[in-house]
Structures are given as C-alpha cells and as structure tokens.
Structure 1
Amino acid sequence: MNSRSALILFFLIFNIGVSNAQQIISGKITDSETGKAVVAANIYINNTTIRTISDSNGLFKLDNIP
C-alpha cells in the first residue's frame, strides 16, 4: 500500500468515527437558596425523547445525544 492509499484509508475511517460521535451532558441539580441536591428533578431536551431524572445526590446524565 502506498502512502496516498494509506492516507485516503485513514480519512475514510476518521469520517466514519466522527459521524457516529455522541455527546453526553451531565451535572448536578441544586437548590439555589440552600445548596442542597434536588432529588428526582426531570431533565430533558425540548422536542426530543432524551430525558432523565436526577438521583438522590442531584446528579444526572443525558447520553446518546446526536
């Protein structure tokens, strides 16, 4: 395989990997006055089915976001 063919193959593989990339959003929900964790808060992205609920520590994670 010559260097040009190897370079073309590299970019083809790179493009396939990038096009399937997914994002993750995570964080912690807290009360602004007390600073305590908010349990069972609904977190969602409008107009999608992507949603989750915060845990007992106020933590959440939304994954598989295109």
Structure 2
Amino acid sequence: MGRESAQQQTARIIAAVTLPHHKVLGAGDAFVLEAGDENEQEQLTLDLAKAVKADVVRLSNGICIILRD
C-alpha cells in the first residue's frame, strides 16, 4: 500500500483561461486570464503552456486549465 501512495503524481494548476461568460470565484495560487473569444482563448492557452512548459486540459464547460507537475 505504501508504494501506491508514493507513486501518485500531483499536478499544480498554473492558470485558467476563460471566456467572458465563465464564472470563476477563486483560483487559489493560479491566475485567471479572460479571452475575448474562443480563438483568443486557444491561442493564449497554447502560448502560456509553451512558456511555462506545461500541459493543457479543456474542461467540459470550455474553461482551459494549464497544469504542471
């Protein structure tokens, strides 16, 4: 059992890239960028992820989050 918990990976949320209709109440240590439209959201997300060498996940509600181990 000890090995299982030692092998767990945790990712840290670096940022969330949202659209104007998204409601984000708090982001903890992460910061939130608001894009004007979906094209800008995609470009900002990719640029930021590349800059910090992180992974991107698009949530089912359309918010993009940038994660790093």
TM range (shorter): 0.3 to 0.5
Q: Which has the larger radius of gyration?
A: 1
Structure with the larger RCO, 1 or 2 (CA within 8 Å, 6+ apart): 2
Normalising by structure 2, we get a TM-score of 0.35
Normalising by structure 1, we get a TM-score of 0.36
